[in-house]
Amino acid sequence: MIVNLLKALVPKSLKKNSFLRKALALTASTWFGFPSKKLILLGVTGTTGKTTTAFMIKSILEKAGIKTGLIGTAGYFIDDELIYEQGEGPGTTPDPFILHRLLRKMVQKKIRVVIIEVSSSGLMYWRTYGLKFKAAVLTNIAYNHHVALHGGMENYVREKLKLFRYLSQKSTAILPQENEYFNLFKINTQAKVLTFGFNSNCDIWTAGSIVHCQDRTFDLKLKIPALFNILNALAAIGAVSKLPITDAQIKAGLEEIENIPGRLEIILTRPFNIIVDKANTPLAFQNLIDFVSSDYQPRRKIVVYGTFNESPLEEREMLAKLSTDFFDLVIITEDDPKDELPQKAEEDFLNFAKKNDLPKDKYLIISDRREAIKTAIKKAKNNDLILILGRGNEQFMLYKNKKIPFDDRVVTKEILKEVGYLL
């Protein structure tokens, strides 16, 4: 109620006013009794991997017996209690009055550590202003659809930098050494920097199954696959490095994870494979392509994805190239069209196909997402692989004047039952 009232009262021209936004954040903190002062806060930002890294941190903390809260894309959690499901809340990093209300609830529930996914829009609107993070993680930085919202890559990176510029000297910044923006982030924080990656020069690195964490080593065998998840695990280790947690607890917390909601979530393994994933950026697509190339040998590869309203043409064409270069069949469909007509995304893809002389048996355009998924399943044969991308564990499809329940995982299982693959 408070958030909606404030949105109605604030003129549109002032929506991005930094002074007003900071004032709102501080007012929210005051309104709810400065709850963040009674909590240890860990922030996670980046283009991809935020949710997986946040869940990894949560699992480690819980193995160490630390009561934990999580605020992020997959929902808002107090221990294992889901407070807001995605689609019902305002997004990855909520507005300050919702954020501080959640933090107060967590204090009341005796939570000690809270992990907050900090999005670029959350930073742009100063939603986390005034929060004192004990540690902040940068998973990676790459081109994505949020760049358009910020008016260019430079502005997008500048927003991400805010999280690290506001860290104190007593805080820790966990940075990916092999990312092209590493040095920029390193020189823009006064926090102690911990680096992670596959290079032995990093503070936290891995070779095979052995993790090297500064002057310690331990064996780690993740159940969730892919190289990018190894990097996420290293980042999570860095995030808890200044807390009273043992290597055995870190190992147990990470090895216990069997899946992350809507991230590389396996729906079917026979007679063909179906995986649902949140991937909706060029970097995420490339990471999945690398994963499939190393871990699968399918007879045929099929992908279903949509280009939602936030995606600029440049990103749509990047996704189209990645998908048509790698997959045997690409099915283009809807994904949170909001104010945009589905035909716009379809026309963008068709223009790309025409410019690049793609054979017509390489792609299909099916506006209705349920029908698109159903078509992929009907066309799949033994040992094929279907990837359903873009939404992960999202609960609702957003249209101009409505939102309807739509979870790719639920819809896929319903269709599999209809056609006889699941009981």
CATH code: domain of residue 215: 3.40.1190.10
As to burial, measured by CB atoms within 10 angstroms (0-12 exposed, 13-18 middle, 19+ buried), residue 50 is buried
Roughly how many angstroms between the first and final C-alpha of the chain, as a whole number? 43
Best CA proximity match to 182, nearest among 140, 154, 144, 146: 140
Summarised one tens digit per residue, pLDDT across range 241-278 is: 999 999 999 999 999 999 999 999 999 999 999 999 99
Pair (273, 399) in one structural domain: yes
What confidence tens digit (pLDDT) does each residue in 205-221 have?
999 899 999 889 999 99
Residue 180 lies in a domain: yes
Based on the fold, state whether residues 340 and 201 are members of the same structural domain: no
Q: Position of tokens 């190393």?
A: 294
Dist. CA 223–CA 114, nearest whole Å: 24
**pTM score:** 0.93
- Angle, helices 227-239 vs 282-295, to 10°: value is 120
| Residues, the chain | 423
- Portion of the chain with pLDDT greater than 90, in percent: 83
How large is the average pLDDT for residues 139-145?
Answer: 94
Residues 46-65, mean pLDDT to the nearest whole number: 97
Judge if 244 and 269 occupy the same domain: no
Instruction: Count CA atoms within 13 Å of residue 176 on its CB side.
Output: 23
> Rounded to an integer, what distance in angstroms lies between the CA atom of residue 153 and that of residue 130?
25
Mean local confidence (pLDDT), 107-133: 97
Total number of domains in the chain:
2
Q: Please indicate, yes or no, if residue 423 is contained in any of the structural domains.
A: no
Decide if 221 is inside a domain.
yes
Residues paired with 196 in a beta bridge: 176, 204
- Are 311 and 273 in contact by the 8 Å Cβ rule? The answer is no
Please indicate, yes or no, whether residues 116 and 232 belong to a single structural domain of this protein.
yes
Predicted confidence (pLDDT) per residue in 367-407, tens digit: 999 999 999 999 999 999 999 999 999 999 988 888 899 99
Tell whether the torsion through CA atoms of 200, 204, 209 and 210 is positive or negative: positive
Burial annotation 145-155 (CB, 10 A radius, 16+ → b, else e): bbbbebeeeee
Degrees, nearest 5: CA angle 280-286-289: 105
Q: Report yes or no on 204 lying in a domain.
A: yes
Q: What is the mean pLDDT of residues 93-119?
A: 96
> Residue 347's pLDDT is what?
87
Does pLDDT of 11 surpass 80?
Answer: no
Give the per-residue pLDDT at 398. 87
Domain end, chosen from 219, 237, 255, is at 255
Above 90 in pLDDT, residue 41? yes
| 191 domain-assigned | yes
The CB-side HSE value for 288 (13 A sphere, CA atoms) comes to: 30
Structure tokens at 39: 């909590």
Higher pLDDT: 250 or 341? It is 250
260 domain residue, yes or no: no
Domain enclosing residue 72, as ranges? 2-255
